[in-house]
Structure formats: structure tokens, C-alpha cells
Amino acid sequence: MKSLHHRIYIILLLTLSFTFVSQAQESKKEQKAVLVTGATSGIGLKITEQLSAKGYFVYAGARKQKDMDRLNAMENVKSVKLDVTKWDDINAAVETVKNEGRGLYGVVNNAGVAIFSPLIEVEEEDLDFIFDVNIYGPYRITKAFAPLIIQSKGRITTISSISGILSGQFFGPYSMSKHAMEAYTDALATEMRKFGVHVSAVEPGNYNSKIVESLIKRMESNDITYEKSLYREEFERLISGYGADRSRFKDPIEVADAVEKSLFSENPKRRYMVVPNENEGNWTITQILREMVQLNENQAYKYSREELIGILDKVLAETE
């Protein structure tokens, strides 16, 4: 009799254990998971905090163990060692996500760096550096995780910038990288449409982040100065005015809101421009219109003002 009771007890335990495991697996599948690159500070950290607080599971990319430990302490967050310039890190991150069993619904290509330099003086190795992170980084991450995103019919969001539209003195290298992300977004969106995957770009203006602080640290560590530059005075004014301390800028919660919409709204948009004030929005939209006028100015099939307005009305109607 004891043996029978013992066997029944074991069967009950196994049944309960199987039930709990099944429920845990189902719970994992129901909780949508998102990978965020460059999640340790600034915009990436704000995105991670917001999505995890809303109940989404975030795989937070970081390069340093101390940052990974800090991210792991957050609820609904698992850090992954991820340098977007290293395929070994990327492939290992893919395996980690696969083994977790949640699948992957979204990718947020956020990791980025900045270089401010005159284009006639910038070193080729500095261009290699910024392009490796800002252009090849999203390319590598998206390519590696595409099978998981296609499987879930999920979303891909890349953090571009209003510098993907604008440019100016010393912003050439950074703007070149962000202009590339504008083209990348449009091409990728068309290619992924057949799989039911939506692609967006979020284009922030000036928000509080560590990007300029990191730039200045890199310049100092590599002994980069502009003592002999043809633009020394202009550069010193830029750095003193722009500064590494961006705490005077708004917290990037508005950027995180736009990322959440791009990932989870029923009707996501291709682009989300997010600016902290009216001036930055005006500069960006005006530049788009200026380029339209410049393209139209001397072309063989030039449009009149009325025809241009008609085209604008048609495009506006398409977005309603």
C-alpha cells in the first residue's frame, strides 16, 4: 500500500512539475521580447526601462560586465554581451535569445557613436570607426536576428537622427552615417514587407545622452586635437557651446515613447521624428522642403508651385 501511495505521489509531483514548466513556457511565449543595442545609458537605457516597466521582456545589449550586472538587476531584463562591431558577440547573443525560448518580436538598433570633424581633415580610420558602429552595426544585428523576427512577424526599429536629414559644419561624418540609415530603413522596409515585418526609423533631436561625452573621451584617449586645424577657432566654439554635459537637454522619454509605438502600435509609421522643441522640428522639415525645391529647380520636367502643392496634398492623403 505504501509503495502504491509513493508511486501516486511521484506521479502527482511529475504532473505538477510538467504543468508548471508548460505554464512557464507559455508565459515566455506570450511575453513579447525585444533586443535593444547600446542599452547602458541615454536613449538605450530609457528604452529598456520603459519597455521592461510596461511588461515587455528586454534583452539589453552591453559591452562591460558592470553594466550587464546593473541591467540584470532590472525586472524583465536580461543583459547580453553585445558589441555591434563583433560577430562573435552577435552570434552568441542570437544563441542566447534562441535558448531562452521566448522568441524575439522586436529589434531596436540603438547603439551609436559620434565624430565631429571637418571633412577635409577627418582621418579615414575615424570614418571607419563611426561607420562600423552606426552603419554596419544595424546591418549586422538585423541580419543576424532576421530569422527570429520573420518567425514572429515582428518589428525592426533603428534610431536614426534629425542629422539623417540635416547636416552642417563638423557634422559631416555623423550625418553621413545617419543619412545611410534613412536609405537603409526604406530599402529594408520594402524587403521585409513580404514577411509581415514592419520597419521604422526613430529620428531624435537633441536629448540628454552620453554620446558627446563618449566622443570627447575618445578624442582624449587617442590624443586627437585641433591645434593645427584650419578650423581651430570654429571647433573650439562648437565644443565649448555644445559641450559634453547634455544634462541641460530634455530626458529622452519622448524617444522611448516613439520606439514603443513603432514596436507595438497597430499601425506603425515608417518614421517618427521626435524633437524637444519647435525650432528643431522646423529646421528639419524646412530642410526637406529646401531639398525638394533644389531638386526641382533645374530639372527637365520642372513642376510649378501649384503642381508641387498638388504632389504634397497627394502625399499627405496617403499618410492619413
> Is 4 inside a domain boundary?
no
> Is 202 inside a domain boundary?
yes
| 43 and 190 fall within a common domain | yes
CATH assignment of the domain containing 234: 3.40.50.720
> Is 15 inside a domain boundary?
no
pLDDT in tens, 69-115: 999 999 999 999 999 999 999 999 999 999 999 999 999 999 999 98
Q: Nearest-CA neighbor of 163 among 129, 204, 111? A: 204
**Domain range for 56:** 28-276
| 312 and 179 fall within a common domain | no
Q: What is the DSSP code (8-state) at residue 194?
A: G
pLDDT band at 23 (very low <50, low <70, confident <90, very high): very low
> Is 180 inside a domain boundary?
yes
Q: Among 256, 276, 296, where does a domain finish?
A: 276
| 64 and 102 fall within a common domain | yes
Q: Locate 70 and state its grid cell.
A: 546593473
> Is 76 inside a domain boundary?
yes
> Is 6 inside a domain boundary?
no
Q: Locate 1 and state its grid cell.
A: 500500500
| 130 and 74 fall within a common domain | yes
Q: Locate 93 and state its grid cell.
A: 547573443
What's at 97, amino acid-wise? V
DSSP 3-state of 115: coil
**Top-confidence residue, 315 or 15:** 315
Angle at 150 between CA 144 and CA 153, to 5 degrees: 140
User: At residue 281, what are phi and psi to the nearest 5 degrees?
Assistant: -65, -40
| 271 and 282 fall within a common domain | no
Tell how far CA 317 is from the center of its chain: 29
Beta strands in the chain (DSSP E): 33-36, 57-62, 77-81, 106-109, 155-159, 198-204, 271-274
What's at 251, amino acid-wise? D
Q: Nearest-CA neighbor of 258 among 245, 250, 248, 269? A: 269
| 135 and 149 fall within a common domain | yes
**Inter-residue contact 141 to 90 (CB < 8 Å):** yes
- C-alpha count within 13 angstroms, C-beta hemisphere, residue 41: 15
| 282 and 251 fall within a common domain | no
User: Does pLDDT of 248 surpass 90?
Assistant: no
Q: Specify the pLDDT at position 212.
A: 67
Angle at 109 between CA 104 and CA 111, to 5 degrees: 130
Strands in 271-274's sheet, in edge-to-edge order, are 77-81, 57-62, 33-36, 106-109, 155-159, 198-204, 271-274
> Is 39 inside a domain boundary?
yes
| 263 and 291 fall within a common domain | no
pLDDT band at 205 (very low <50, low <70, confident <90, very high): very high
| 57 and 206 fall within a common domain | yes
| 170 and 64 fall within a common domain | yes
> Is 8 inside a domain boundary?
no
Q: Specify the pLDDT at position 24.
A: 43
DSSP of 57-85, one letter per residue?
A: EEEEEESSHHHHHHHHTSTTEEEEE--TT
pLDDT band at 3 (very low <50, low <70, confident <90, very high): low
**Inter-residue contact 86 to 108 (CB < 8 Å):** no
Q: Specify the pLDDT at position 319.
A: 81
| 109 and 248 fall within a common domain | yes
| 216 and 265 fall within a common domain | yes
Number of structural domains the chain divides into:
2
